Amino acid sequence: MTDYVGTVAIHEETWGKFLEPDPAVVDAENLHEVLGIPILSGHHADLSVFKGRNAVFDRIATQAGELKLDYEDQCSVQHYFDVFACVEREHAALTRLVDVGVFMGGSAAVLAGCVEPMGLELDLVDANSVFLQFARERVRRIFPRATTRVRMFHGDLPTYVANVLRAEPQTRALIHHDGAHDFNQVVKDLSSLYFARDRVHGVLLQDTHLRGSIEHFNFVDAAVYAMFGVGVKYEALGARYPQDSPVTHPNQWNGNYFLAETPEGMYVPFDSAEWKYPHPTMELDDFMPVKAPPAG
């Protein structure tokens, strides 16, 4: 049975639950074809450009670079390195990394490389179970020993907060958010973290420089300001693109583009965050996905 909420199909059998790896994807050739994922740009972030700065990252770059797999990454190599640097700096205060919106596993591969050397766990969270299977398999091929500490959660961030974070009081998580970029959904996602803020060290957000066709409402940075105020204290992450570079013009696939001279991402630590929303009288249920009523 499937209910549709916005553009997300909620499959009652797996929504809000941890998934098991699909045996059909293990060592499958043309993994993206097996899972029905189209590759558009084919962009690969070359992690090797940051080699020589950190021994753990050097290992990640080497092993990820040896992977023979068709995929595409949607973040810059600068973003991946900045995310790693933040994890490396903060890991003593953490028990878990949470990657929300995994797509084809670009950030998951970097975060998975932190699992063993830093003694962490990794949860992959996505509303699309196909992307979860791809990302987990990519991680398995790069860091096979780390996969015992990697879980796949099928759902959005509010559902993960309700079903996992609030049920695990000892967790101290760092959230990497590269999920929905729609303003309304990002506000819901960040609002849900308010109800588990004692278990979340901070949130790293990607695509705060993204704009596009109006129907997609790609305003991640505006959602951050709505939650924490225009004076929010954050650490800039990722690349900044100069005025009139190619990526500052709408692309050929979906019309997305990046704001010039604007950071790709933001890291908002929760110890200094001042919540402007939600109101303390609100409940987590206010931000959970609502199933569409039965037809007829």
Q: Domains of the chain: which residue ranges?
A: 41-287
Query: Can you tell me the distance from the alpha carbon of 80 to that of 219, in angstroms, rounded to the nearest whole number?
Result: 21
Q: 67: which DSSP letter?
A: -
Residue 56 CB partners (closer than 8 Å, separation 6+): 84, 88, 113, 114, 117, 118
C-beta atoms surrounding 10 within 10 Å: 21
* CB-based contact 198:270 (threshold 8 Å): no
- The pLDDT of residue 51 is 96
CA 211 to chain centre: 18
- The pLDDT of residue 44 is 92
Q: 234: which DSSP letter?
A: -
- The pLDDT of residue 3 is 34
- Do the bridges between strand 17-19 and strand 8-11 make them parallel or antiparallel, or are there none, so unpaired? unpaired
Buried (b) or exposed (e) across 224-262, using 16+ Cβ within 10 A?
A: bebbbeeebebbebbbbbeeeeebbeeeeeeebbbbeeb
Long-range (24+ apart) CB contacts under 8 A made by 271-274 are 271/201, 271/202, 272/233, 273/202, 273/228, 273/232, 273/233, 274/228, 274/229, 274/232
**Is the alpha carbon torsion for 18, 15, 159, 226 positive or negative?**
positive
- Type of residue at 32: H
> How buried is 4 (Cβ within 10 angstroms: 0-12 exposed, 13-18 middle, 19+ buried)?
exposed
- The pLDDT of residue 40 is 86
- The pLDDT of residue 2 is 33
- The pLDDT of residue 50 is 97
Q: How many residues does the chain have?
A: 296
Query: Can you tell me the distance from the alpha carbon of 35 to that of 234, in angstroms, rounded to the nearest whole number?
Result: 37
What are the structure tokens assigned to 251, written together? 């692309």
- The pLDDT of residue 75 is 94
Tell me the average pLDDT of the chain.
Answer: 92
- Type of residue at 175: I
What are the structure tokens assigned to 275, written together? 């919540």
- Type of residue at 26: V
Buried (b) or exposed (e) across 185-209, using 16+ Cβ within 10 A?
A: bbbbbbbbbbbbeebbbbbbbbbbb
Would you tell me the crossing angle of helices 129-142 and 106-118 to the nearest 10 degrees? Answer: 50
- The pLDDT of residue 7 is 36
What pTM, to 2 d.p., does this model score?
0.93
Residues of the chain with pLDDT under 70: 1-12, 291-296
C-alpha distance from residue 231 to each of 202, 203, 236, 276 (Å): 17, 16, 14, 11
Query: Can you tell me the distance from the alpha carbon of 82 to that of 172, in angstroms, rounded to the nearest whole number?
Result: 20
- The pLDDT of residue 10 is 54
CATH class label, 41-287: alpha beta
Q: Which residues on adjacent β-strands are paired with residue 122?
A: 97, 150
